[in-house]
Structure 1
Amino acid sequence: MSLKKSLLLVAIILIVDQVSKIYVKTHFTMNETVEVFSWFKFVFIENSGAAWGTKLSDFLPISEETGKLILTVFRLFAVVGIGYWLFDTIRKKLPKTLAIAVALIFAGALGNIIDSVFYGMLFSESVYGGPVATMFTDQPYGTLFHGKVVDMLHFPFIENAIWPSWVPYFGGKSFSFFEPVFNIADMAISTGVGILLVFNKKAFAKTESEIVEN
């Protein structure tokens, strides 16, 4: 896979991701839901922490703002590292499967870091019940490095079902599947990781030059 094609893939994912986030941020109020199908909904939420909404301040004796800054800086280093991994993969002409997977992960990580770094100083606060947020506002909800990641995709395949009474511990309790709300960037990261797991041998297959050297 050439560098030009990999960058094109990254650019397409970034554009779709950011357009969808900006649209939802400026047209939805917090937690507003639009049902497309019974199993697919748009639900606007914001994630100020790591995966599943986890915050460093939940585990460390630091303020939420400090935890957010640390997490954003960590993400920046991670994005730089993944970007180098993509460049190195293409430079060494490693398998196309690996290049596609890394490009997806890089695009997803970059998409979410844009939210974390810039959204706090670009948008006004999103609130329950409105009004909707505005872009390039005089009253931003945060500062540089203190933005929140916009999520909107929800696939509730099963909602408010009840575990059979014979199931240990969970019997009689309600459950839903799939509960997380995510975005295009998250999908890109998950797809890239999935490719690495499912097509592991193909992604990390030795190139002809490596076989000759050995």
Structure 2
Amino acid sequence: MVFFFAIILAVVGIDQASKAWILLHFALYESREVIPGLFNLTHLTNNGAAFGMLAGQPAVWRQVFFIAAASVALVFIWIAQRSFGRRSRVYAAALALIAGGAIGNLIDRIRWGFVVDFLDFYLGQSHWPAFNVADSAITVGVTLFIVYNLVFDRQ
């Protein structure tokens, strides 16, 4: 369990620290080129879900929905950790990454009513939707869980 909670705390800490740095050093919509033609740091906000889904809904309903969804997800992650996490540290790490990312974005939603995004990858004029450390942790965690399950743990 120490391993599980250490990863969660690391993800939340890095996520919140990186967002605080962006908020302190960038104006909203300000963009700075990091790797020409590929990557910028760009201060954006997202009051919707992934890729801006639900962004047009009333703020109160969005907040209730996102807080409830994150809370339910964290309960399921806790239950999964008690089953899968005991079988393998890989499962524990994957679930901790997902939980840490969910908590990081939940903190934003409770504090500001939106999530701070700033990682902006693109090729030419085609941009991937901006994201943050919490989103990355969730994506890596889900991918790790699925790949480990399919390749190494056939139970």
TM-score calculated relative to the size of structure 1: 0.65
- Equivalent residue for 1:111, pick from 97, 104, 113: 104
Q: Which has the higher mean CA deviation after the structures are superposed, 70-79 or 102-111?
A: 70-79
How large is the RMSD of aligned CA atoms in angstroms? 1.9
Q: Deviations over 1:128-187 (max 9, x none)?
A: xxxxxxxxxxxxxxxxxxx2111111111x122xxxxxxxxxxxxxxx1x4210000110
- 1:89 is aligned to 84
Distance in 2 (alpha carbons) for counterparts of 1:56 and 1:32: 21
Letter of the structure 1 residue corresponding to residue 8 of structure 2: V
In the TM superposition, what are the counterparts of 1:118-129 in structure 2 within 5 Å? 119-120=111-112
Query: Paired residue for 1:179, among 128, 150, 154?
Result: 128
Alpha-carbon distance change, 67 to 10 in structure 1, aligned in 2, over 3 angstroms: closer
Determine the C-alpha separation between the residues in 1 that align with 2:8 and 2:73. 16
Tell me the number of residue pairs that the alignment of Structure 1 and Structure 2 aligns.
154
Q: Which of 195, 198, 214 pairs up with 2:147?
A: 198
Q: How far apart are 1:202 and its partner, in Å?
A: 4.8
The structure with the largest helix share of the pair is 2
Higher relative contact order (CA 8 A, sep 6+): 2
Q: Distance in 1 between matches of 2:145 and 2:96?
A: 12
Work out the CA distance in 2 between the residues paired with 1:44 and 1:56. 17
1:200 Cα shift?
2.2
- Sequence identity, in percent? 31
Q: Which residue of 2 aligns with 1:134?
A: none
Which consecutive residues of structure 1, in runs of 5 or more, have no partner in the other structure? 121-146, 161-175, 207-214
* Cα distance in 2 between the residues matched to 1:72 and 1:42: 27
For 1:14 and 1:71, the matched residues in 2 are separated by 17
Stretches of structure 2 that go unaligned for 5 or more consecutive residues are none
State the AA in 1 paired with 2:40: K
Cα contact 1:95–1:202 (8 A) shared by 2: no
